[in-house]
Structure 1
Amino acid sequence: MGPPAGLGRLLVAVASLGFSVEGAAGGFDLIPLTELPLKTAGRFIVGTSGRRAHMACVNWYGAAQRQMVMNGLDRQPPAVIAARIVELGFNCVRFPFNLEMLFVSQPSVPNPGVVLAAAPELWPLSALEIFDRTLASLTDVGLLVVVNNHVSAAGWCCSASDGEGLWYTDKYSEEDWLTGIGMVANRYRLNPRVVGFDLRNEVRPSGMVLPTWGTGDASTDWSMA
């Protein structure tokens, strides 16, 4: 049986690391809580037992865009999508967000009746509260989550001219970025299944400014951010 409607566009990117016993749908087993927190050992990711942890991740996008919520919630509620991700054999989800949802106060997301058609209980909530609920639906079924600061301002990513290639933009300062990623880290620090933080999506030129590493230029050097 194929995936529920709306999931085809959801399951768009897979990143597999290492070797593991195959689990559901020929995929990878869920990583038990007893193996958390994860850490690195050389080039490997390992659990508390020292055994290599193997992550098969899917990217669930949407909340970084102007709709402010993950794609697919117009077709299925979060819990159904989370269960389907496990059924398909994944054990990890990359979960993008924008800084705008952290700093802009609004009673609800744009067009909730459309983008949240399958989850009416979420309609009154803010974008950040919906992000919380959706993330919890993933970790509740045993999935690991890697949060990702995709962009600062809500919108599609990416191009060399969108002004979003560095950690700061014309609208959101370095201080805003540091505050934002600190807020997210603190928000989920007690959830052991939130195991990683992807600090920015697709590092690239921002207009005419090229990103660098190790140059000592505070305006472009990612190692100093």
Structure 2
Amino acid sequence: MIGRRRCLFALLVLQLELVKALTGVPLNTNSRWIVNQQGKRVKLACVNWVAHLEPVVAEGLSDKPLHQISKGIKSMGFNCVRLTWPVLLVTNDSLASLTVRQSFQNLALTDSIAAIQANNPSIIDLTLIQAFQAVVKSMEDNDVMVILDNHVTQPGWCCNDNDDNGFFGDKYFKAELWLAFSMESAMW
């Protein structure tokens, strides 16, 4: 229970940092428009960044330095990233406390370990939740908003008719965990 609370607290801190990072936050709606606190319309131009697969690490960190990816997103004209993540990242302390290196070792992805070590040495020995936070912080540093998408419960590919890893009513989705997390994170 203490480990779970620690993970939830870490995610709360992450979300608070995101809120501080956004210009004119919080975003809201006015009729059909997304607006900032001043009522000015905000147009979202987003890319998707996958972090919900088995390693539970944002894809591409084995190919380029994180700051280079973040700057590249901004330089292409995007102002937000839809960052996917599995619910177990914040509800399962044994997953969240794995390091990036351990996660890749568990999956026998030794080439990826070497590549992340080369391109992102500061991330390889962070816990998975810390690595996720580092990705969000890098977006913040480049003035890119992040839409957190708790895409699946268990890390892995999703979204077919029989993976049971979607949402309410699916085998691996634990509504009580999702609701508890949602309620706790909404209180800030």
TM-score by length of 2: 0.73
Unmatched 5+ stretches in structure 1: 1-30, 190-225
Deviations 1:127-186 (A, max 9, x none): 111001111100111111110011000100111101123235434421111233456667
Structure 2 counterparts to residues 97-112 of structure 1, below 5 A:
97-102=85-90, 103-105=92-94, 106-109=97-100, 110-111=103-104
The 1:36–1:159 alpha-carbon spacing in structure 2 relative to 1, beyond 3 Å, is: same
- Counterpart for residue 48 of structure 1: 37
Letter in 2 for 1:84: G
Structure 2 counterparts to residues 93-172 of structure 1, below 5 A:
93-102=81-90, 103-105=92-94, 106-109=97-100, 110-111=103-104, 113-114=113-114, 116-117=116-117, 118-167=119-168, 169-172=170-173
Measure how far apart 1:48 and its partner are. Answer: 2.1
Measure how far apart 1:49 and its partner are. Answer: 2.3
The 1:115–1:64 alpha-carbon spacing in structure 2 relative to 1, beyond 3 Å, is: farther
Is the Cα contact below 8 Å between 2:22 and 2:145 reproduced in 1?
Answer: no
Q: Which has the higher contact order (CA 8 A, sep 6+)?
A: 2
Letter in 2 for 1:90: F
The 1:96–1:114 alpha-carbon spacing in structure 2 relative to 1, beyond 3 Å, is: farther
* Equivalent position SS for 1:148: strand
Measure how far apart 1:107 and its partner are. Answer: 3.1
Q: Which has the larger radius of gyration?
A: 1
The 1:181–1:66 alpha-carbon spacing in structure 2 relative to 1, beyond 3 Å, is: farther
Aligned length, in residue pairs: 155
Q: Which has the higher helix share?
A: 2
Deviations 1:59-89 (A, max 9, x none): 011x200011011100112111111101000
* Equivalent position SS for 1:122: coil
Residue of structure 1 aligned with 2:54, choices 63, 66, 77: 66
TM-score by length of 1: 0.62
Percent identity of paired positions between Structure 1 and Structure 2: 30
